C-alpha cells in the first residue's frame, strides 16, 4: 500500500468511478468488517492510508489487497491464508 487515500491505492490511474470502487470494497468484505464500527472508524474512499498500510489492521490490509485484485479484474490470483487476520464475524 502506498501513502495517499484508499481511492488512490485501489485506483492509482483514476480508471474507475466511485460506485465501482465501493462495490469492489463491499465484494472484498470491507463492509462486513466494519458493521460494528461507528461512523468515525469506518473507511471510505477518502480515508488516508500511510505507507505500507501502517495505519490499518492486518485484516484491513488483507481486504484491500483482495479489493485491488478484484478491481483490476486479475485473471490469476494466488492466495495463501488471504483472510487469516480478518476475524470470525467475516468468516461467519
Nearest to 30 by CA among 1, 67, 4: 67
Residue length of the chain: 92
DSSP 49: E
The pTM for the full model equals 0.73
Instruction: Give the chain's end-to-end CA distance (angstroms, integer).
Output: 27
Mean per-residue pLDDT pooled into runs of 10, the chain (92 residues): 91 94 88 61 85 86 88 81 56 44
The boundaries of the domain holding residue 20 are 4-91
What is the number of domains present in the chain? Answer: 1
pLDDT given at position 60 = 85
Amino acid at each position: 500500500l502506498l501513502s495517499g487515500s484508499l481511492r488512490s491505492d485501489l485506483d492509482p490511474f483514476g480508471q474507475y468511478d466511485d460506485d465501482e470502487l465501493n462495490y469492489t470494497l463491499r465484494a472484498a468484505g470491507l463492509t462486513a468488517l466494519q458493521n460494528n464500527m461507528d461512523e468515525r472508524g469506518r473507511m471510505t474512499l477518502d480515508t488516508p492510508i500511510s505507507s505500507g498500510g501502517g495505519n490499518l489492521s492486518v485484516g484491513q490490509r488483507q481486504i484491500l489487497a483482495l479489493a485491488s485484485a478484484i478491481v483490476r479484474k486479475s485473471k490469476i490470483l494466488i492466495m495463501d491464508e488471504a483472510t487469516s487476520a480478518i476475524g470470525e464475524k467475516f468468516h461467519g
